[in-house]
């Protein structure tokens, strides 16, 4: 432990290292959450509408499932991720997918040197759960987003009953020594308020649930995907949204 850090800061630093280490061998994540990644990628495609997307930044790009599909419709795509292993997967996936220039940035978003108003579309999916304070994070997102640009933002609604079940399960796993790291849940209303306070306006939302702890482990990823679609539909027809704790938001900068 660094003696210059407070106990809380030292704990957060250790947790950040745990997150970083876990995603240097990302097979567990890509396998366990394949259905969720597919839903996210299809939702991004629907929200961007098949049109030209200009300059794209994918924050926490993972293996590129969400943003590589945009290479055919973008002028350039910046893939940003603190995991070098993930970026290697992106580079392999991106090869030959489109005329857009591909840029790779291996660091966290808050540490990255990015141009002000430099992007027409920013993807931030599967990232907020690792952000302790979304205020400064969203302020920087807004700063790199061009006027009139769009942000696709994902968050897990901490105030939803399913999220409370998830946290109880994660706490039990941590006590049993089986937790990989801690995440930072945020109420969806608070995230949206932070975004709107920084000049972002909500255009569309898709709300769904990935699954209960334990139950989702009994289904294959293909079965889980089909169940999500059967229950919650898609962006154009978002059924039973009140039962969903996962939100994909499309916002526009004024």
Q: What is the pLDDT of residues 33-65, one digit of tens each?
A: 999 999 999 999 999 988 899 999 999 999 999
Phi and psi at 3, nearest 5°, equal -65, -15
Which residues face 233 on adjacent strands? Answer: 238
pTM of the model: 0.88
Question: Residue 28: which pLDDT band, with cuts at 50, 70 and 90?
Answer: confident
Q: Comparing 212 with 137, which gets the higher pLDDT?
A: 137
State the Cα–Cα distance between residues 228 and 40, nearest whole angstrom: 11
Question: Please, are residues 152 and 47 in contact by the beta-carbon 8 Å criterion?
Answer: yes
Rounded percentage of the chain residues whose pLDDT exceeds 70? 83
Kindly indicate the confidence band of residue 17, based on its pLDDT and cuts at 50, 70 and 90: low
The CATH number that domain 7-253 falls under is 3.40.50.150
pLDDT of residue 9: 45
Tokens 């920084």, located at residue: 198
Handedness of CA 93, 183, 141, 153 (dihedral sign): positive
Question: What are the structural domain ranges in the chain?
Answer: 7-253
138, pLDDT greater than 70: yes
């Amino acid at each position: 432990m660094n003696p210059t850090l407070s106990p809380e800061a030292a704990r957060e630093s250790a947790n950040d290292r745990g997150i970083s280490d876990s995603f240097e061998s990302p097979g567990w994540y890509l396998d366990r959450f394949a259905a969720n990644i597919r839903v996210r990628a299809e939702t991004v495609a629907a929200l961007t509408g098949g049109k030209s997307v200009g300059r794209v930044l994918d924050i926490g790009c993972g293996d590129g499932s969400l943003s590589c599909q945009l290479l055919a419709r973008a002028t350039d795509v910046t893939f940003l991720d603190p995991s070098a292993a993930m970026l290697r997967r992106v580079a392999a996936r991106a090869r030959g997918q489109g005329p857009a220039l591909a840029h790779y940035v291996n660091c966290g978003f808050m540490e990255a040197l990015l141009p002000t108003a430099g992007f027409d579309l920013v993807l931030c999916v599967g990232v907020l759960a690792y952000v302790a304070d979304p205020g400064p994070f969203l302020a920087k997102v807004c700063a790199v987003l061009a006027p009139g640009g769009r942000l696709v933002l994902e968050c897990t609604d901490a105030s939803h009953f399913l999220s409370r079940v998830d946290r109880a399960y994660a706490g039990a796993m941590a006590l049993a020594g089986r937790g990989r790291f801690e995440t930072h849940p945020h109420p969806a209303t608070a995230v949206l308020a932070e975004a709107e306070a920084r000049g972002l306006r909500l255009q569309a939302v898709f709300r769904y649930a990935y699954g209960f702890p334990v139950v989702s482990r009994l289904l294959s990823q293909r079965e889980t995907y089909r169940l999500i679609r059967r229950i919650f539909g898609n962006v154009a027809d978002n059924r039973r949204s009140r039962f969903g704790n996962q939100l994909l938001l499309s916002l526009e900068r004024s």
